[in-house]
Amino acid sequence: MSYSIACAPCCWGVESSDNPHNPNWMTVLSEARLGGFTGTELGPYGFLPLDADTVNTALYVKELEICAGTIFEPLSESANYEDIISKTKRLCGLLQQIGCEKLVVIDCVNDIRSRYAGMPEQAPRLDDVRWAQMMNTIRDIAEIAKRHEIRAVVHPHAGGYIEYRDEIDRMLADLSADEVGLCLDTGHLYYATMDPAKSLVEYKDRLEYVHFKDVNQQRLQQAIEMQVGFWQACADGVMCPLGEGAVDYDQVAHALDSIGYHGWITIEQERDPRNSDTTLPDIKKSRQFLVEKGFI
């Protein structure tokens, strides 16, 4: 089966809009197109301009479309609630104007959980009060998105409070299919000690969007043993081009085909933005790998 393949600004190391080492947003769009991609994610709030005319013009020139926006915030922190809601409203307004129908919702990497990424038995969980706060925040984000004709999908992410199987299951039990869908990421699933291909099948009833990553097993093991934290692991090269790591993409292909998935697939490869000059050759490698595997 052939899929629509996108990339994302995190391939250039863009995880927040205020990092002084970020490449220019037009450079990201230009290299995405040079890499052979027809779509990209919007990236973190404020990285691309929040003006629809500016974004639409750039997308037209670069022959790209935005396949998803992202809310990447501390969802369990009540003190951040109003700011998160304000960002969601403005972001969804932009997404609606540029014709994007997906909003990826992620509990962001935090200092407590980051050092336990990849360690499901040791990682501390949220207490019931903060978990309820996170669920209510996601529910409100999803309702705002729905009013803008956008579907919210929750993305389990290493270093956040929705990462491991028990947290994914608890989130899906608390939030109905009418409220949110699920975005699964092969690299984050592997990082969380879950089988990516099996997980795609197990969660097929809620799966609405897919990210592809690959993980260098040796660097992952070093990161876990040294507890360096998720961002440092990424800077150290724990994520690698597709086909060069531990994720079995033959099994992933079979899983997606067996469940009849037909949405976008977005490749990602986090790195330090100071190393963004290595992005274009890496995303070309990843895309070529997908061509050879029959995804494109």
pLDDT digits (tens, 9 = 90+) for 144-173: 999 999 999 999 999 999 999 999 999 999
- pLDDT band of residue 263 (cuts 50, 70, 90) is very high
Domain limits, the chain: 5-292
Q: Is 1 helix (H, G, I), strand (E, B) or coil?
A: coil
Pairing assessment for the beta strands 39-41 and 65-73 based on DSSP bridges: parallel
Q: Is 128 helix (H, G, I), strand (E, B) or coil?
A: helix
Q: Which two tokens stand for residue 152?
A: 């919210």
CA distances from 30 to 20, 40, 93 (A): 20, 11, 25
CA distances from 178 to 155, 201, 208, 260, 289 (A): 16, 20, 12, 20, 35
At a CB cut-off of 8 Å and minimum separation 6, what does 192 contact? 118, 120, 156, 158, 163, 164, 165
- Residue 277 CA to residue 22 CA, distance in Å, equals 11
Q: How does pLDDT run across 198-253, given as a tens digit for each residue? A: 999 999 999 999 999 999 999 999 999 999 999 999 999 999 999 999 999 999 99
With a cut of 80, say whether residue 1 has pLDDT above it: no
C-beta atoms surrounding 106 within 10 Å: 20
With a cut of 90, say whether residue 2 has pLDDT above it: no
Q: How many helices (H) and strands (E) does the chain have?
A: 12, 10
Average pLDDT across the chain, whole number: 98
Pairing assessment for the beta strands 151-154 and 102-107 based on DSSP bridges: parallel
With a cut of 80, say whether residue 259 has pLDDT above it: yes
Q: Which two tokens stand for residue 159?
A: 């270093």
Tell me the fold of 5-292: TIM Barrel (3.20.20)
Q: How does pLDDT run across 85-120, given as a tens digit for each residue? A: 999 999 999 999 999 999 999 999 999 999 999 999
Q: How does pLDDT run across 39-94, given as a tens digit for each residue? A: 999 999 999 999 999 999 999 999 999 999 999 999 999 999 999 999 999 999 99
